[in-house]
């Protein structure tokens, strides 16, 4: 991609910066100014985007991420002895999306494309199940990670080609927000090329999503892989987010109509010393306050391989005092792990599995409000889920 070669100094090609140009001969000290005006764009969906983002970033609620690709969903199903078939994927996602009372704790659900177009076994569209529960349907729109040529064994995220037309179709189907995940690896450097490519791709995706009525979740995941200390994670996170917001602004993205899905600032998963929830909260909020404008309505953290209990405790620690944004969750494994183990693919276990989902959703709801206590958490919820080199 040619855009991978962009840098801050060369960004004037966009033609939207206002500047004063010096003119005249060397014998003259006079200056003339040439005004370059900023474009004013009235986007058709702006009011709706802001309202959607506010709805998702509502007190005590967060996002259920069930946007795993078919291959990744297959890994989840195989862990309980089920084959990776569309029927089994549908059964599992039906279990999740029809859980009674889920909307009390969940404001949005990220779906894979297959799920967006599926219905329950009774014929009710999944998007209608969500709407009835006051949950906003969302859609994963990226096409996955591929090797980034010229980098230090790093990746870039594909999917911009055809994104506008796909997004318009997703909107017609009922989706109102989107997700695009790219990654940054600390053990791989990260290289300036990889950081810039991640930031530029996210910004282009965000602009295209907003043009088609979808609130973009901006997610540059800084992977847990590595043995680095927490200070190194903070350094990289600050660099990544400064690049991301630079390019979001260059692409005229409406900040009030986006959501972020950052990693928490933690030590590398293989670092010899673990950090406490209080330390993780301190470092993470420091990074956010330095890099994220208060216009952004919601910060919906990913769990990134933390245990269910860890992800909840860390979120709770970040909500012990007021923040400029709604600080909440967008968890996949940290909401689903107990559900799968309760279900085991058996119809008679559906009710128990749905209760497991509500337990985790309520715990994270309380953490969003800063009122969670780990008292009574079972040992299963404390087991870490980090997988080195994990792919979605």
Residue 246, exposed/middle/buried by CB under 10 A (0-12, 13-18, 19+)? middle
Dmax over CA atoms of the chain, in Å, equals: 90
Tokens representing residue 126 in the block: 């999944």
Query: Would you name the residues annotated as active-site residues?
Result: 219, 261
> Regarding beta strands 298-301 and 136-140, do their DSSP bridges make them parallel or antiparallel, or are they unpaired?
unpaired
Closest to 181 (Cα-Cα) out of 263, 242, 281:
263
C-beta of residue 339 within 8 angstroms of C-beta of residue 367: no
Residue written as token pair 């996602």 = 93
Strands 326-331 and 145-147: unpaired
Task: Annotate 97-121 with b (16+ C-beta within 10 A) or e (fewer).
Answer: bbbeebbebbbbbbbbbebbebebe
How far the first Cα of the chain sits from its last, in Å, is: 23
Is the distance from CB of 158 to CB of 142 less than 8 angstroms?
yes
Nearest one of 216, 328, 195 to 264, comparing CA atoms: 328
11 vs 249: CA distance, rounded Å: 11
Is there a contact between 171 and 213 (Cβ–Cβ < 8 Å)? yes
């Amino acid at each position: 991609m040619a855009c991978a070669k962009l840098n801050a100094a060369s960004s004037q090609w966009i033609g939207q910066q206002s500047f004063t140009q010096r003119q005249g001969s060397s014998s003259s000290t006079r200056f003339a100014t040439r005004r370059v005006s900023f474009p004013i764009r009235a986007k058709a969906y702006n009011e709706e985007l802001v309202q959607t983002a506010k709805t998702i970033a509502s007190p005590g609620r967060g996002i259920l991420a069930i946007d795993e690709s078919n291959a990744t969903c297959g890994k989840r199903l195989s862990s309980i002895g089920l084959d990776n078939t569309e029927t089994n994927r549908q059964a599992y996602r039906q279990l999740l999306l029809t859980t009674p009372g889920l909307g009390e704790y969940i404001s949005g659900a990220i779906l894979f494309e297959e799920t967006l177009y599926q219905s329950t076994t009774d014929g009710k569209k999944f998007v209608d199940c969500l709407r009835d529960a006051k949950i906003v349907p969302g859609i994963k729109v990226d096409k996955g990670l591929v090797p980034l040529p010229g980098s230090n064994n790093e990746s870039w995220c594909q999917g911009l080609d055809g994104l506008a037309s796909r997004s318009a179709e997703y909107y017609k189907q009922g989706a109102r927000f989107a997700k695009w995940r790219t990654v940054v690896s600390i053990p791989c450097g990260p290289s300036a090329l990889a950081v810039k490519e991640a930031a530029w791709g996210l910004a282009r995706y965000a602009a295209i999503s907003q043009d088609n009525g979808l609130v973009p979740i901006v997610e540059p995941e800084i992977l847990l892989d590595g043995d680095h200390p927490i200070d190194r994670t903070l350094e990289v996170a600050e660099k990544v987010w400064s690049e991301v917001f630079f390019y979001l602004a260059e692409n005229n993205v409406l900040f009030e109509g986006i959501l972020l899905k950052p990693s928490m600032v933690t030590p590398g998963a293989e670092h010899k010393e673990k950090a406490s929830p209080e330390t993780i909260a301190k470092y993470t909020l420091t990074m956010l306050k330095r890099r994220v404008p208060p216009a952004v309505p919601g910060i919906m953290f990913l769990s990134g391989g933390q245990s269910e209990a860890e992800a909840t405790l860390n979120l709770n620690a970040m909500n012990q005092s007021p923040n400029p944004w709604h600080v909440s969750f967008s968890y996949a494994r940290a909401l689903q792990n107990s559900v799968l183990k309760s279900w085991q693919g058996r119809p008679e276990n559906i009710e128990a599995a749905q209760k497991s989902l509500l337990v985790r959703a309520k715990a994270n709801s309380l953490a969003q409000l800063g009122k969670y206590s780990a008292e009574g958490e079972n040992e299963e919820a404390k087991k870490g889920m980090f997988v080195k080199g994990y792919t979605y």
